[in-house]
Amino acid sequence: MKPLIRFAKKDDAAAILRLIQGLADFEKASEQVTITVDDLLRDGFGTVPKFWCFVVEIQVEAATQIVGMALFYNRYSTWKGPTIHLEDLMVQEEFRGQGVGTALYRAVLSFAKERKVRRVNWEVLDWNTPAIEFYEKSGADVLKQWHVVSMDDKALESYLES
């Protein structure tokens, strides 16, 4: 099995959404996914894409199948300048432990290096020990003293109306 990593195309949107939902299931947050294929098409494949996405294909029997993806986008750090945020990296469960995730991870980091960004950021759940160990082994710092802060659209609206 030799994985092929490439930039996602419009035709991959349904497979990307399937992987996003699989990640939400893994994180025990299935009900929180509200994005649609149309959202992905508009936001990732329009004239000014809001994100990039690598997909990984492998040959499964007689068909090519997308079994993983890494979705990321530009950010800007007031301390470092241009950065990239890795939003999600997901590999289907049955293909984990075979180097597929590592290949995706390297593709994102290589992309960042080519773009001359000064930092790549992402989050990892505190209970996802295998991922934390992988990231630390790769040289990434898991910043335990920082807390992720998030405000969804309902909280945003409520705050602004108060």
Residue 135 annotated in active site: yes
Give which of 120, 125, 114 is closest to 141, Cα–Cα: 120
Do 92 and 22 contact (CB within 8 A), yes or no? yes
Residue 66 exposure: Cα atoms within 13 Å on the Cβ side: 21
Query: Catalytic one among 76, 105, 135, 159?
Result: 135
Question: Is residue 78 helix, strand or coil?
Answer: coil
What residues contact residue 36 under an 8 Å CB cut-off, 6+ apart? 17
Torsion of CA 120, 121, 122, 126, to 10 degrees: 120
Output phi, psi for 19, to 5 deg.
Answer: -70, -40
Which residues are known to be catalytic? 135
